[in-house]
A and B are shown apart, each in its own frame.
Chain A
């Protein structure tokens, strides 16, 4: 991805400001999660979304109320972007009763019926068939809803993805397959794992249209999302968006990312950062002043700090809670 200059675009100041705010919330939240992990307050695996913020924020801007989303284990950003409560997410990371899953799920397993967020899944690629099933239910109910099914470049090499492509195309399901291509399948670079440089072209074999999108540009992502969602809502079946992005941190907190150079990461951060991009647009377009942005930064910091406080103050789950929610009550 080449360096890019901020360009004027057909976007309102309010919308740009919202993008800035939403992406910054994810970044600061993830930085805080990284700190809490380092302090031993979060256990297990913790996959941070830093660097990929424009993907989910851009696509959420293309959704309507009632649309669904489902993703893998790198899921904190998706939850924040669809409006889930940062307190509940952070408290799940620390395994507290105030977490979205009462501490039973952790980082990789959270859900919200209210925000139509269907998880948070820990097995690479496993959420992809589920996403098709959600879309199937919507088509069955004829309610006009669309499901955004997110997965990574690593998951794109799982067989079940192609079982799902076939069914989704065969049954014209209203599902947008979002391939978040962050260039690394855990520690394996794209060119060492994937036969084609453009994963979206694999949809052609199933008759599913698709395109590549610059995932460091939230405006480009939103525009592509609108096109994809219009295709689905028109009853034309699934659509594939391969969003080319970059994760700044390791695969999880336990990954020192020795499979790539510091310079590579540094170059992306300096030249392609999605938040800096919007910041530049806001400043050069005179939509906001440095002081305006500082005020937003402060506001976000307060939200994130409050979530960290909540995640430490919320009690640990009582042992009785172990035995609830295994089975639903038979009415």
Chain B
């Protein structure tokens, strides 16, 4: 018999009951809740006269709708305000852990879970949000669910699941200078496509993944969903254990050592079998920029906008044509000739301290270009913001003409006041470049924090190393 994958182990550990056809009742350890996908779930719970099964497993926070400026005056948009207030009422009624908007610990749900130690290795983590895959970076089985399932987890602490197939994406070798986790994951999606991971749970492995910090691994797992996979994960190593140590909700003392011993087992066995293995050479990955309206539409920053006429598959070619029309781009245009109007550094993909440091390193001593109407930095949580300010990063950005905001999802999906106007082009460190994602008619280019910062300074896409001055 061959060994077990990390996914096998996590799955096995959480089986409560199994039906003959393999449909499994899976136990959920942590349930993260935000204001957008939960109101109807709480309503359902209330209508059925049910209560949360294990209130202590829930951590709730408002993030999608919250303003990133002038918080003291509250939420201006009445519909947004109602949604956030509804969450406040629900957590109060059911006695759930909650970080309100003005709490220092408030932030994007996927940033605060790991930051608080609510996400631990070996746990199952769910949230009514597709980017829950982020938490897999800690050796957890984490995936997004819909609102009916949010209600189901609240009521039963379990979910009905069928086991996915397993995929190993192995990135071996050394990353070139200036190549970041974001570039790696965009390159992976460019390689396997946005449906390449459908039906799979992906483990990211190989020396290049191991060399990344936990923050970098979160960036990779965050976008597993953009490759169609529900879950992404990375095996536990000493970095994982050190990351967790001392976090507010993590075990402490003797219990930590006991837990750490169990966590060290959370790796795929050497003889484990995967249903599919994809290999990438780390040294061949360049900084990436998306040119279209799907995250698989990426090219290296040194490349050009591709030509649909060269595409064999007619459905794909049509998709490319539509994307180019939407993005206002001509085939053959060098990526470095594309000039954004706005720059957004933030989102659950790239708003942790390491991301802000990388962007600040590019910006330091420089100024935003005149054609950039707005360059904004939105930290992932209040604690990230506090840390960045302690390091003086806020000054670096402010001196360069950037805006320094309060934590939240912000212009990643533009549910609050931060959005693109029709036709505006944005260099964004977020994860989705869908039509209208950052505002109706807005045009998104997905990039790493360093590239976003470089675009803000140069006024066009460019490798940070090639900036003058």
User: Does chain A bind chain B?
Assistant: no
Using CB atoms and an 8 Å cutoff, list the residues of chain B in contact with chain A: none
Interface of A toward B, CB cutoff 8 Å: none
